[in-house]
Amino acid sequence: MSWPKRRLIVLGVGLLSVFLGGAVVAQEQRQIPTQLIRTVTVTGRGVESIPATIAQVSLGVEAQGKTAQEVQQEVARRSSAVVELLRSRNVEKLQTTGIRLNPNYSYENNVQRLIGYIAVNTVSFRIDTQRVGNLLDEAVKAGATRIDGISFVAADSAIAKAQEQALQEATLDAQRQAGAVLATLNLKPQEVVNIQVNGAAAPPPPPIPLAAAPRTDKVENRFSIPVIGGEQQVEASVTLQIRY
């Protein structure tokens, strides 16, 4: 074999050795396990109860008549009187929530016959819980014929403060849970590596349905009794991921 060919073979074997050596080193590096970060994940919960001092009221006027124009005029007249009363009592967030005009049918011997129209106008507003009983009585006397319901909520400022407190309670609760688990396993908590705030909500209680007020010449003082709003709960949850 000539010298150039022998030299090429030697060089080829050398390059192959270098390549295989590099592959072995890379494989060894891949086989070295990286140190895993050990963490525990816990979710804490916080609940704050605050007094519901505001009543959210929904009421309206309903009228029936033979013609659409007749019932619309009657509803407009009564609604204007009710709205004027509410404004004079300085209620908050007064707004119209519904206007309806529907045909009224009678059914006799499977025969449908138009006998008139029904019109409804509803409004909603907010007022202090202590004042709502007397105001509902006044609204009925002014022309309201529907009291669809009342729900009780806390003031916005009270809700905001309660949300902060509920978040603090949820965070402390999560830390206590993590501490209890790790202490049982003879482990020590280190730093918090992740924080997730799941929210601090104050869902309003469902409205309390009330019977529609009868439209009569003599209106009884049905709502002049004290109305108790109760409490509203503000809930929060926080998830912590803690290294140990």
Assign 116 to helix, strand or coil: strand
Q: How far apart (Å, rounded) are the C-alpha atoms in residues 169 and 175?
A: 10
Between 36 and 143, residue with greater pLDDT: 143
Q: What is the pLDDT of residues 120-169, one digit of tens each?
A: 999 999 999 989 989 999 999 999 999 898 899 999 899 999 999 999 99
* pLDDT at site 199: 78
Residue 222 has pLDDT above 60, yes or no: no
Q: How far apart (Å, rounded) are the C-alpha atoms in residues 21 and 103?
A: 92
* pLDDT at site 11: 46
* pLDDT at site 93: 95
Q: What is the pLDDT of residues 81-105, one digit of tens each?
A: 999 999 999 999 999 999 999 999 9
Q: What is the pLDDT of residues 172-221, one digit of tens each?
A: 999 999 999 999 999 999 999 999 998 777 776 666 655 544 444 444 44
Beta strand 192-201 with 92-108: parallel, antiparallel or unpaired? unpaired
Question: What backbone phi and psi angles, to 5 degrees, belong to 77?
Answer: -65, -50
* pLDDT at site 128: 93
Q: Hey, which bits of 71-209 come out as E strands?
A: 92-108, 111-128, 146-153, 192-201
* pLDDT at site 176: 97
Between 242 and 10, residue with greater pLDDT: 242
Question: What backbone phi and psi angles, to 5 degrees, belong to 204?
Answer: -70, 145
Q: How far apart (Å, rounded) are the C-alpha atoms in residues 140 and 214?
A: 9
* pLDDT at site 79: 95
Do residues 129 and 229 touch, judged by C-beta distance below 8 A? yes
Q: How confident is the model at residue 37 (pLDDT cuts 50, 70, 90)?
A: confident
* pLDDT at site 202: 73
Do residues 237 and 46 touch, judged by C-beta distance below 8 A? yes
Structural tokens at position 5: 């060919």
Q: What percent of the chain shows pLDDT beyond 90? A: 64
Amino acid at 71: V
Assign 45 to helix, strand or coil: strand
